[in-house]
């Protein structure tokens, strides 16, 4: 028997080298890179009638637009045909995920296996179109109000909205091509590519910090970022193993034999992923965004709307900034529990175990198993919720502890990048393991 040679190279680089040596995996990797190049090209095709300098200043002063720009990979800051990015699709997916356990018809469709999942995916695509249209119209109205986009009405306005909807659906299509013919989850890869493309901006901000005499603060900022990445990796991979026993009866030679097997259920500490951060940020930014429509113009006496904008501004100084970041911290914990329990109820693990003849040692099947699993998931979710809440306020902690104001560290961006890299490498290693096994048995 042949033994596979061990390598002293790190696991990540060894898996990448092995993947490049295999023609089919190499083709998948090159296909993924090609799709990302196409995405970046589309992100730089602008819509007409935009003042670039006014647009840049607006995004630098608006945190909500900055979050949406992250999902579009900079396309919104350029106001390109793909300005909405895949954000409407993500919103539609979240809506469908929350409505499925509530609406009996959707729940019945979801339980139809592969056909049901395809049907739910199709409904999500159709829901994305009006979501993208509403978001596009709101974006155009907001930019026209700020004097960034020349006023358009009627047919030109409809043409711009249709173009932006088409840009969103094109990016969703590119993501699905990556999922089918490339490596990794396509939508996540598209978001990942947009975030990584903005790293050059961080380098420029770092140069400004050095030129401003904040070298020590910049070093501390980098250390905080590296520690954050390490913690994200630990909590993304962390899970609690619940032992499971299976008792099966099989017929062999006209006789019935009892067979027993053991396995485990991996309950992830961070089941919710980045979704609670998105929910929480949307809520804390909403009051300031609404107040901006009623605020007094620059130079005039401030009114109540101006005060609300200052309170809900993520760049507000201490102690006003504590309101925004404290609310962000608390809402992240609340949404983590809410989203985790919704997902856990959809999985119906107790029912699946009972149907498969499995049971947890020492726990009766049925209601008692459900209570036990609910108790375990609530306990480990506290760790996941506190982790996400701390990650959410990392930009505030880094800014206050280092004094560096010019760099904008996106904890959500770090969470997405690390999660996508880990997920993609797992899929690549799974592909390599399958091919090594096939080569061994041949």
Q: Quick one: pLDDT at residue 136?
A: 84
Check whether residue 441 and residue 377 sit in a common domain: no
Q: Quick one: pLDDT at residue 257?
A: 47
432 Cβ neighbours under 8 A, 6+ residues apart:
15, 18, 19, 22, 25
User: What average pLDDT does the segment 146-158 reach?
Assistant: 76
Looking at the predicted structure, is the pLDDT value of residue 157 above 90? no
Q: Which two tokens stand for residue 393?
A: 């306020």
Say which DSSP state 1 is in: -
334 Cβ neighbours under 8 A, 6+ residues apart:
280
> Crossing angle of helices 11-21/411-441, nearest 10°?
60
Residue 315 lies in a domain: yes
Looking at the predicted structure, is the pLDDT value of residue 232 above 70? yes
Of 407, 423, 439, nearest to 203 by C-alpha is 407
* Residue 106 binned pLDDT confidence (cut-offs 50, 70, 90): confident
Check whether residue 41 and residue 58 sit in a common domain: yes
Q: Which two tokens stand for residue 301?
A: 């006496």
Instruction: Give tens-digit pLDDT for 201-215.
Output: 666 666 666 666 667
198 Cβ neighbours under 8 A, 6+ residues apart:
70, 73, 74, 413
Residue 2 lies in a domain: no
| Separation between Cα atoms, residue 219 and residue 80, nearest integer Å | 35
User: What average pLDDT does the segment 275-291 reach?
Assistant: 78
- Do the beta carbons of residue 230 and residue 415 sit within 8 Å? no
Say which DSSP state 409 is in: -
Q: Which of 38-42, 211-215, 307-311, 399-403 has the lowest mean pLDDT?
A: 211-215
| Separation between Cα atoms, residue 120 and residue 294, nearest integer Å | 40
CA distances from 165 to 11, 77, 144, 149 (A): 41, 17, 19, 18
- The proportion of the chain whose per-residue pLDDT surpasses 90, expressed as a percent, equals 5
On the CB side of 273, CA atoms within 13 Å amount to: 13
Q: Quick one: pLDDT at residue 437?
A: 57
Q: Quick one: pLDDT at residue 299?
A: 62
Residue 5 lies in a domain: no
User: What average pLDDT does the segment 152-167 reach?
Assistant: 85
Provide the domain count of the chain: 2
Check whether residue 16 and residue 140 sit in a common domain: yes
Residue 377 lies in a domain: yes
* Residue 222 binned pLDDT confidence (cut-offs 50, 70, 90): confident
Which of 15-29, 88-102, 378-392 is modeled with the greatest confidence? 378-392
Check whether residue 326 and residue 234 sit in a common domain: yes
Check whether residue 94 and residue 154 sit in a common domain: yes
> Which domain, by its residues, includes 338?
211-409
Q: Which H or E element spans position 217?
A: helix 215-237
Residue 3 lies in a domain: no
Give buried/exposed letters for 358-396 (b at 16+ CB in 10 A, else e). Answer: bbbeebeeeeebbebbeeebeebbeebbebbbbbbbbbb
* Residue 169 binned pLDDT confidence (cut-offs 50, 70, 90): very high
Residue 203 lies in a domain: no
> Within 10 A of 303 (CB to CB), how many other CB atoms are there?
12
Of 40, 37, 32, nearest to 16 by C-alpha is 32
Check whether residue 42 and residue 66 sit in a common domain: yes
- The proportion of the chain whose per-residue pLDDT surpasses 70, expressed as a percent, equals 79
Of 97, 90, 178, nearest to 427 by C-alpha is 178
- Do the beta carbons of residue 128 and residue 172 sit within 8 Å? yes
The CATH number covering residue 226 comes to 1.10.3370.10
Check whether residue 134 and residue 152 sit in a common domain: yes
> Within 10 A of 60 (CB to CB), how many other CB atoms are there?
12
User: What average pLDDT does the segment 2-10 reach?
Assistant: 42
| Separation between Cα atoms, residue 343 and residue 331, nearest integer Å | 18
> Crossing angle of helices 367-392/394-402, nearest 10°?
30
Which of 113-122, 346-355, 398-407 is modeled with the greatest confidence? 113-122
- Do the beta carbons of residue 128 and residue 169 sit within 8 Å? yes
User: What average pLDDT does the segment 192-209 reach?
Assistant: 69
Q: Quick one: pLDDT at residue 310?
A: 78
Check whether residue 229 and residue 302 sit in a common domain: yes
Instruction: Give tens-digit pLDDT for 291-339.
Output: 776 777 666 667 787 788 778 777 777 777 788 888 889 989 998 888 8
Residue 423 lies in a domain: yes
Q: Quick one: pLDDT at residue 202?
A: 65
Check whether residue 23 and residue 155 sit in a common domain: yes
* Residue 3 binned pLDDT confidence (cut-offs 50, 70, 90): very low
Q: Quick one: pLDDT at residue 4?
A: 41
Instruction: Give tens-digit pLDDT for 55-69.
Output: 777 776 665 666 666
Helices (H), 269-410: 275-292, 304-311, 321-347, 349-355, 367-392, 394-402
Residue 402 lies in a domain: yes
| Separation between Cα atoms, residue 90 and residue 67, nearest integer Å | 13
Instruction: Give tens-digit pLDDT for 233-259.
Output: 888 888 888 888 776 655 455 554 445
User: What average pLDDT does the segment 160-181 reach?
Assistant: 89
- Do the beta carbons of residue 360 and residue 244 sit within 8 Å? yes
| Separation between Cα atoms, residue 136 and residue 113, nearest integer Å | 34
């Amino acid at each position: 028997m042949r033994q596979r040679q061990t390598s002293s190279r790190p696991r990540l680089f060894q898996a990448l080298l092995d993947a490049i040596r295999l023609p089919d995996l190499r083709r998948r990797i090159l296909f993924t890179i090609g799709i990302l190049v196409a995405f970046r090209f589309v992100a730089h095709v602008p819509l007409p009638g935009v003042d670039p300098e006014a647009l840049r200043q607006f995004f630098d002063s608006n945190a909500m637009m900055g979050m949406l720009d992250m999902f579009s990979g900079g396309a919104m800051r350029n106001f390109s045909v793909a300005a909405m990015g895949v954000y409407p699709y993500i919103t539609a997916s979240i809506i469908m995920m929350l409505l499925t356990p509530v609406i009996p018809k959707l729940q019945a469709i979801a339980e139809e296996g592969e056909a049901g999942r395809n049907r739910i995916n199709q409904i999500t695509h159709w829901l994305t179109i009006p979501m993208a249209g509403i978001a596009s119209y709101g974006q155009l109205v907001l930019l026209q109000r700020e004097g960034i986009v020349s006023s358009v009405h009627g047919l030109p306005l409809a043409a711009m909205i249709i173009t932006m909807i088409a840009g969103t659906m094109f990016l969703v299509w590119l993501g699905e091509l990556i999922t089918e013919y490339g490596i990794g989850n396509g939508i996540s890869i598209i978001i990942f590519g947009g975030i990584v493309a903005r790293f050059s901006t961080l380098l420029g901000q770092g140069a400004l910090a050095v030129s401003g005499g904040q070298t020590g603060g910049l070093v501390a900022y980098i250390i905080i970022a590296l520690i954050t990445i390490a913690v994200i990796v630990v909590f993304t991979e962390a899970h609690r193993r619940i032992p499971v026993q299976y008792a099966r009866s099989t017929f062999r030679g006209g006789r019935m034999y009892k067979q027993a097997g053991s396995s485990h259920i991996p309950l992830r500490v961070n089941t919710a992923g980045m979704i609670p951060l998105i929910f929480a940020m949307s809520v804390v930014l909403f009051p300031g965004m609404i107040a901006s429509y009623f605020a007094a113009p620059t130079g005039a006496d401030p009114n109540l709307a101006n005060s609300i904008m200052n309170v809900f501004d993520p760049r507000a100084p201490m102690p006003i900034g504590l309101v925004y970041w404290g609310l962000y911290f608390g809402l992240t914990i609340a949404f983590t529990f809410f989203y985790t329990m919704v997902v856990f109820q959809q999985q119906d693990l107790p029912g699946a175990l009972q149907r498969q003849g499995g049971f947890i040692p020492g726990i009766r099947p049925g209601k008692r198993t459900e209570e036990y699993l609910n108790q375990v998931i609530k306990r480990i979710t506290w760790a996941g919720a506190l982790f996400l809440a701390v990650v959410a306020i990392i930009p505030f902690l880094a800014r206050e502890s280092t004094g560096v104001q010019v760099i904008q560290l996106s904890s959500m961006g770090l969470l997405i990048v690390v999660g996508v890299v880990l997920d993609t490498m797992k899929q690549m290693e799974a592909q390599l393991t399958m091919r090594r096994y096939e080569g061994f048995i041949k």
